[in-house]
């Protein structure tokens, strides 16, 4: 019980919200409290001025007035101040102590006046104490401890003093005040309980609102932040681009958009696992974040694709140089959990104004520049230019013509022989796509194949060309093979592979006479899916040739994971083969590699007898190029085949 009583008469410093609420409420009541105290005291002093000594009617009241006015001014000028919890607690405790002191002081002073004057003046003393204290208690209702202390210090002595006065009126008054005091205490405790419950309710509501805001902020963060790299995600990047684009246009400043795609990331995932792949992406994010000091805003757009916003008036040359710096940073080795991985980054950059003025336009142009980088300049930065704009327009025209084209009528094939230089016989023909459009004329294959890929109709085109190639193969001797190229999208399209396998099965051509050619780039883009589809061809007895070997970014460790039957050395190694020792070393290495893994090695791009002689000395036997024959129509291959067979037969007769 004593502990509960002590708790009731103590400032509840352990509840910061309650302390602040008590201080705020009491601050509003202070003017009324001291106004009532001073005016009632003045009235009592006036009625006893001629009856009591000056010390009781002048000197002591003056001290009480001074203290009250000082406290009133102090509270008034500090009413707008923000207090810490410790300061607020100290302020309430000082108020509590001062209430007790002032209550005792005013009570003792007023009771000392009782012996002076007549019955009316004595009644005024009783009225003063009861009325003033009741009013003060109401003003102190937010400070339960102070209000109860004042009740005990003033009304306790009051009740005893007047209850034992021997005057029935004063005794009744004392009893009446005692009963009122009990009711007042009950009201005080009830009010304070409700006040504290209200503060607690507000505290809980504030906590729920804070939690709701925290969850909202967290949801906003998660919705706009990539959880793996902690970079902004695609949504945030798009919003940021729109905002900065508007600001750049208003201020007349420059802005550029950069899209980045990692080259060789999927092989890292396949070789080391997704855990290492995730760590690599995290480090890529950190390397890109290091460029933020150059007014660059980085983001992860998804997968192994990242985006950058460049701010400032940067020239195309400066953007290209900055892009190359980023490429160099991304190309540095990644040491992750004891494993060393290498990737590179291809960049496509579009500039506000040169490439367009809207976010969609900048994205589209940066994506086109990125496509060019990945197709032709892997690991470098390409800045979208006016020439690229013309190319887009041309590609758009070509795509429209492709969509309207009759592939059966407009598409045809040219065939280039692959020669066995030991026998001078033809062992295969490579089928090369050709298109002559009635509306736009002849279109180079490098252009319309790319346009068909971007238009999403390459699979349909490949199916038509495969049928035509298989029909041509029926006209050749059975020992002559057919080689057909598959595009990057063909290799990773299950639908296209299904259709091609059905076409081959229905053609009547022995699958063992057929080779499909795929590039390193096509295989490395999605190795797992590409490898699975390549195996499906191999299981049907179809040969698999890896074209343009040495120009991609794949690891040699992947070569043995594919069911290859041929490796074709890219012509870029052949141009200076007669004079470049490094080219000869590379070719020799590839020839030896092919022999070791049981593959036929084919060299492309032969144009001179000197090249043929050098390559034969390096161990190359199978070759292809203008030196032997340019791509021919089907009817020309028949005559060329007949001449080749005649030479071969004559050679055999001499040997025999």
Token readout for 20 is 């602040």
Token readout for 413 is 């094939």
CB 523 within 8 A of CB 537: no
CB 356 within 8 A of CB 257: no
Query: What's the rounded Cα separation, in Å, for the pair 601 and 463?
Result: 27
DSSP letter (8 states) at residue 57: I
Token readout for 214 is 């925290």
What distance separates the 2 farthest-apart alpha carbons in the chain? 161
Closest CA to 232 of 243, 219, 221: 221
Query: What's the rounded Cα separation, in Å, for the pair 477 and 495?
Result: 31
Q: At what angle do helices 386-404 and 359-376 cross, to 10 degrees?
A: 90
Query: What's the rounded Cα separation, in Å, for the pair 394 and 388?
Result: 9
- Residue 356 φ/ψ region, left for φ over 0, alpha for ψ in the -120 to 50 degree band, beta for the rest: left
What is the four-CA torsion angle of 269, 273, 276, 281, rounded to 10 degrees?
30
Closest CA to 47 of 162, 127, 107, 106: 127
Query: What's the rounded Cα separation, in Å, for the pair 586 and 569?
Result: 10
Task: Write down the catalytic residue from 304, 490, 515, 547.
Answer: 304
CB 339 within 8 A of CB 283: no
What does the H/E/C string look like for 428-472? EEEEEEEEEECCCEEECHHHHHHHHHHHCCHHHHHHHHHHHHHHH
Query: What's the rounded Cα separation, in Å, for the pair 555 and 456?
Result: 29
Question: Which burial class, exposed, middle or buried, applies to 427 when counting CB atoms under 10 A from its CB (0-12, 13-18, 19+)?
Answer: middle
The Cβ of residue 71 has, within 10 Å, a number of other Cβ atoms equal to 17
Query: What's the rounded Cα separation, in Å, for the pair 642 and 622?
Result: 19
Token readout for 494 is 């299950």
Query: What's the rounded Cα separation, in Å, for the pair 120 and 554?
Result: 112
Helix or strand or coil: residue 296? strand
Which residue's entry shows tokens 């890292």? 268
Decide if 304 is catalytic: yes
Which residue's entry shows tokens 């008034």? 76
Token readout for 37 is 């105290």
CA distances from 578 to 421, 586, 592 (A): 18, 13, 19
Closest CA to 388 of 373, 378, 402, 399: 373
Beta bridge pairs of residue 632: 415
Sequential DSSP letters for 484-524: EE--HHHHT-HHHHHHHHHHHHHH-S-GGGEEEEEEHHHHH
Give the helix/strand (H/E) hosting 135: helix 119-139
Beta bridge pairs of residue 428: 418, 481
- Distance in Å from the first CA to the final CA of the chain: 127
- Which is it for strands 411-420 and 344-351: parallel, antiparallel or unpaired? unpaired
φ, ψ of residue 549 to 5 degrees: the values are -60, 135
The residues carrying an active-site annotation are: 304
């Amino acid at each position: 019980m004593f502990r509960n009583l002590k708790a009731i008469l103590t400032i509840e410093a352990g509840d910061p919200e309650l302390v602040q609420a008590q201080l705020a409420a009491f601050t509003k009541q202070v003017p009324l409290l001291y106004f009532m105290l001073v005016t009632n005291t003045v009235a009592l002093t006036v009625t006893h001025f001629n009856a009591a000594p000056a010390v009781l009617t002048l000197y002591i009241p003056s001290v009480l007035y001074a203290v009250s006015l000082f406290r009133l001014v102090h509270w008034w000028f500090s009413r707008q101040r923000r207090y810490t919890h410790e300061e607020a607690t100290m302020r309430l405790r000082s108020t509590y102590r001062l209430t007790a002191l002032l209550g005792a002081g005013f009570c003792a002073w007023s009771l000392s006046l009782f012996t002076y004057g007549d019955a009316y003046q004595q009644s005024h003393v009783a009225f003063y104490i009861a009325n003033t204290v009741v009013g003060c208690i109401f003003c102190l209702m937010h400070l339960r401890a102070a209000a109860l202390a004042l009740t005990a210090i003033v009304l306790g002595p009051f009740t005893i003093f007047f209850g034992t006065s021997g005057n029935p009126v004063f005794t009744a008054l004392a009893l009446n005040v005692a009963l009122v005091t009990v009711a007042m205490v009950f009201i005080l405790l009830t009010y304070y309980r409700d006040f504290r419950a209200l503060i607690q309710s507000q505290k809980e509501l504030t906590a729920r609102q804070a939690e709701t805001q925290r969850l909202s902020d967290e949801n906003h963060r998660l919705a706009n932040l990539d959880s793996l790299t902690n970079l902004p995600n695609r949504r945030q990047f798009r919003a940021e681009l729109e905002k900065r684009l508007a600001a750049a246009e208003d201020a007349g400043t420059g802005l550029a958009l950069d899209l980045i795609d990692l080259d060789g990331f999927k092989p890292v995932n396949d070789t080391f696992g997704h855990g290492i792949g995730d760590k690599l992406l995290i480090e890529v994010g950190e390397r890109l974040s290091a460029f933020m000091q150059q007014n660059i805003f980085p983001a992860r757009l998804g997968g192994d694709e990242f985006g950058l916003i460049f701010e400032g008036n940067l020239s195309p040359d400066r953007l290209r140089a900055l892009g190359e710096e980023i490429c160099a940073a991304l190309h540095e080795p990644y040491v992750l959990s004891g494993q060393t991985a290498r990737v590179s980054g291809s960049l496509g950059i579009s500039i506000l104004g040169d490439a367009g003025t809207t976010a969609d336009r900048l994205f589209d142009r940066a994506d086109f520049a990125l496509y060019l980088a990945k197709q032709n300049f892997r690991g470098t930065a390409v800045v979208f230019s006016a020439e690229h704009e013309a190319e887009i327009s041309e590609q758009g025209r070509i795509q429209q013509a492709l969509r309207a084209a009759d592939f059966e009528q407009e598409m045809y094939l040219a065939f280039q022989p692959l020669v066995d230089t030991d026998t001078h016989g033809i062992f295969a023909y490579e089928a090369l796509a050709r298109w002559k459009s009635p509306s736009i004329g002849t279109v180079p294959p490098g252009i319309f194949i790319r346009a068909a890929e971007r238009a999403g109709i390459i699979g349909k085109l490949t199916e038509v060309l495969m049928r035509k190639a298989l029909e041509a193969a029926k006209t050749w001797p059975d020992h002559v093979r057919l080689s057909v190229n598959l595009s990057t999208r063909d290799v990773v399209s299950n639908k296209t592979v299904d259709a091609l396998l059905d076409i081959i099965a229905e053609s009547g051509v022995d699958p063992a006479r057929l080779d499909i050619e795929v590039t390193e780039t096509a295989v490395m883009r999605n190795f797992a899916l590409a490898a699975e589809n390549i195996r499906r061809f191999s299981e049907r007895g179809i040969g698999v040739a890896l074209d343009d070997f040495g120009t991609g970014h794949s690891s040699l460790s992947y070569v043995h994971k594919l069911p290859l039957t041929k490796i074709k050395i890219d012509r870029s190694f052949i141009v200076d083969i007669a004079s470049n020792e490094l080219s000869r070393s590379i070719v020799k290495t590839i020839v030896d590699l092919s022999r070791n893994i049981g593959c036929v090695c084919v060299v492309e791009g032969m144009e001179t007898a000197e090249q043929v002689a050098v390559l034969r000395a390096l161990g190359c036997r199978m070759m292809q190029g203008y030196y032997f024959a340019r791509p021919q129509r089907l009817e020309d291959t028949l005559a060329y085949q007949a001449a080749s067979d005649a030479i071969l037969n004559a050679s055999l007769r001499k040997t025999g």
